[in-house]
Amino acid sequence: MPSAQLAGDPADWRFDVRIEEDLIEEFARLFGFDHIPERHEQGAHEMAHWTVTRVSNERASDLLMDRGFQEVINYAFTDAAVQAALCPEPAVALSNPISGELAGHARFALPESASSAR
């Protein structure tokens, strides 16, 4: 029996259907997950050796969050005193700063990372 082929494009408003797996998930959701029989994979499984380069950024983020770390967003604007205390090079002075405390542009991420850690 020949396999059937189906082709189509998702509607413009369906931003969540981008790849083949998204479409399969949508069919499964409509059909009903409870109606899909469970099948366990057969065959030999070999554990791959994990190295730092094989861990994705997302997985690394998940591991850190599992251990209580939180993600923060640091802006490049910094207090000149903090920059001077942590880095040998002065902050780049801004001609139109957003506030008096944030009148410089940090040359490194360390000053604002330190401020976030407070």
pLDDT tens-digit profile of 23-72?
Answer: 888 888 888 888 888 887 777 777 777 676 777 778 888 888 899 988 77
List of long-range contacts for 111-114, beta carbons under 8 Å, 24+ apart: 111/78, 111/79, 111/82, 111/83, 111/86, 111/87, 112/74, 112/75, 112/76, 112/77, 112/78, 113/72, 113/74, 114/82, 114/86
Number of domains in the chain: 2
pLDDT tens-digit profile of 2-12?
Answer: 667 777 788 78
Q: Report if residue 93 sits inside a domain.
A: yes
Q: Report if residue 108 sits inside a domain.
A: yes
Q: Report if residue 1 sits inside a domain.
A: no
Q: Report if residue 43 sits inside a domain.
A: no
pLDDT tens-digit profile of 91-100?
Answer: 788 888 778 7
Supply the pLDDT for residue 112. 67
Q: Report if residue 51 sits inside a domain.
A: no
Q: Report if residue 90 sits inside a domain.
A: yes
Q: Report if residue 111 sits inside a domain.
A: yes
Domain that residue 94 falls in: 77-117
Q: Is residue 87 pLDDT above 80, yes or no?
A: no
